[in-house]
Amino acid sequence: MSKQHIRATVNGDAVDFLCEPTTSLLNALRDELRLTGSKEGCGSGDCGACSVMLDDKLVCSCLVLAPEIDGRRVETIEGLAQDGQLHPLQRKFLEHGALQCGFCTPGVLVAAKALLERNVDPTEEETRYWLAGNLCRCTGYDKIIRAVLDTAAELRQERLPA
């Protein structure tokens, strides 16, 4: 097995690393780039804890081969807060207590951000179906859904003309 040289943009930074052709994007992020915010809960696309954005599309990084990201853009939980300022979703998750153990939280936040970028006024049902790929075993989802809907309301408020 010879390693492949991958160049990509991760959270706005140019990165390059060597990996086996079979390495998943998740393992490359974690083991090569030490971006351990993306978690492995299943390795089969069933839990969403490894959710990242790949060229603006929400994907499970465990279901992407690292060589596939050559020349492409990846955004992870580590890129959600900007300049030390929490994203409104991060802030609302803390205010609502929408996390207990916090392990699924990075994936849920990345997925929720992708939802609100498409639809800033989702219904509860739309939010629940959008997040169906993100398992949480602690919260029963209640406070997660409330935090996402509350963030959406705040974002809509901000967009109103003064």
Residues 90-129 that bind another protein (CB under 8 A): 90, 93-97, 99-106, 109, 111, 114, 124-125, 127-129
Find the binder of another protein among 8, 24, 28, 122 (CB under 8 A).
24
In whole angstroms, give the CA distance from residue 121 to residue 135. 23
Q: Which is nearer to another protein, 27 or 162 (CB)?
A: 27
Element (H, E) at 34: none
Nearer to another protein, 22 or 161 (CB): 22
Alpha helices in 10-162 (DSSP H): 25-27, 88-96, 105-118, 124-130, 142-159
Which residue type sits at 119?
N
Q: How many amino acids of this chain bind another protein (CB under 8 A)?
A: 80
Q: Which is nearer to another protein, 97 or 156 (CB)?
A: 97
> For residues 73, 134, 102 and 60, what is the CA-based torsion angle, rounded to 10 degrees?
-30
- Binders of another protein among residues 37 to 96 (CB under 8 A) are 37-49, 51, 57-60, 62-65, 67-68, 76-78, 80-81, 86, 90, 93-96
Nearer to another protein, 9 or 78 (CB): 78
Phi, psi (rounded to 5 degrees) for 5: -95, 120
Structure tokens at 112: 């929720």
Q: Report in angstroms how near the CB of residue 27 gets to another protein at its nearest.
A: 8
